[in-house]
Amino acid sequence: MVELADLQKIFLGHLQGQSTPITNYVTKEQPGLAIYANAYQQRLTEALDGDYPCLGLLLGDAQFNQLISDYIVHHPSSDPSLRWFGQYLPAFIREQVHYQSMPIVAELAEWEWRLRLAFDAAGSEIAVIDHVQQLTAEQWPTLQLELVPSLQIVSWQTNAVAVWQALEQQQTPPAIVEERTDWIIWRKGLVTNFRSVHKDERVALELSLQGHNFASLCEQLCQWHEPDVVATRVVQLLQQWLNDELIRKVISH
């Protein structure tokens, strides 16, 4: 008599390709056991194929299949929803010695994952230009911005996004080069958006996320701009963010 808990562990071990005594506990071995083991691999593989289509194109079938079968072994699914199964793949790639000399692989994987995150991230209310136009001169310095929950800010060491865009459109990707770039990803309505940002915009967004106010943004952006024009630059960013629907709420005191 085998305890149910033990039987389930043995069965799962079989699905995961381990050598187990499962045949002692089933009355009809074939092809049923193989059907379950194949289905396990296939379902998880399909989930990763769906989450990382361009990574597959970048690596080619042989390398991609090797990567995902290793991932399936090292990161079995811990979430009831397949939606989250692939979440550790970018980190897993970074741990692989084989990929450490090719930073684009992890960056492109992380890019694809982050686009997925924006796709079903929480929505929110959106601030409109009227909120800003009503502000008095005294209110501007303490003005704070709450940004939309789908916003993500990322920096790459390579031209991962250019390569991703080409692969996505089934075109020949450009040569892989080292190139420091900053990007934002967010969802506008139901559509996932991304664009590159200059260093000063990146910092302004990060500061806003941390709760810094308009005066503080101006102060920090003096790294890139003369004091007499820095406020104009921050207002220009603010307008851009309103157009992009990046601002959830304008908080004035």
Partner 1 sequence: MKKIFHGFGLGLRKDYYSEILATQPAVDWFEIISENYFVDGGKPLYFLDAIREQYPIAMHGVSLSIGSTDPLNKHYLKNLKSLADRINPIFISDHLCWTSVGGINSHDLLPLPYNEASIKHIVERINFVQDYLGRQILLENLSSYVSFAESDMTEWDFVSDVVERADCMLLLDINNIYVSARNHHFDPLDYLKGVPAQRVMQHHLAGHSDYGDYIIDTHDAPVVDPVWQLYKVAAELFGPVSTMIERDDNMPTFSELLAELNYARTLAEPIYSQQQASVVLPVTSRYQFTSTIPSVGVQEQHYG
Minimum Å gap between C-beta 210 and partner 1 is 22
Minimum CB distance to partner 1 smaller for 32 or for 227:
32
Q: How far apart are CA 98 and CA 148, in angstroms?
A: 37
Q: How far apart are CA 154 and CA 111, in angstroms?
A: 9
Minimum CB distance to partner 1 smaller for 7 or for 128:
7
Neighbours of 153 (CB within 10 A): 18
**Is the Cβ–Cβ distance between 205 and 153 less than 8 Å?**
yes
Neighbours of 155 (CB within 10 A): 12
Minimum CB distance to partner 1 smaller for 175 or for 190:
190
**Interacting residues with partner 1 (CB under 8 A):** 1-5, 7-9, 11-12, 15, 24-29, 31-33, 35-36, 39-40, 43-44, 47, 76-83, 85, 118-123, 149-150, 187, 190
Minimum Å gap between C-beta 182 and partner 1 is 24
**Is the Cβ–Cβ distance between 187 and 118 less than 8 Å?**
yes
Minimum Å gap between C-beta 122 and partner 1 is 4
- Enter the tokens of residue 49: 């194929």
Residue 12, classified by CB atoms within 10 Å of its CB into exposed (0-12), middle (13-18) or buried (19+), is: middle
Minimum CB distance to partner 1 smaller for 44 or for 237:
44
Minimum CB distance to partner 1 smaller for 25 or for 232:
25
**Is the Cβ–Cβ distance between 252 and 142 less than 8 Å?**
yes
Minimum Å gap between C-beta 132 and partner 1 is 25
Number of alpha carbons in the 13 Å side-chain half-sphere of residue 160: 22
Minimum CB distance to partner 1 smaller for 26 or for 135:
26
Q: How far apart are CA 28 and CA 224, in angstroms?
A: 72
Minimum Å gap between C-beta 159 and partner 1 is 28
Minimum Å gap between C-beta 49 and partner 1 is 14
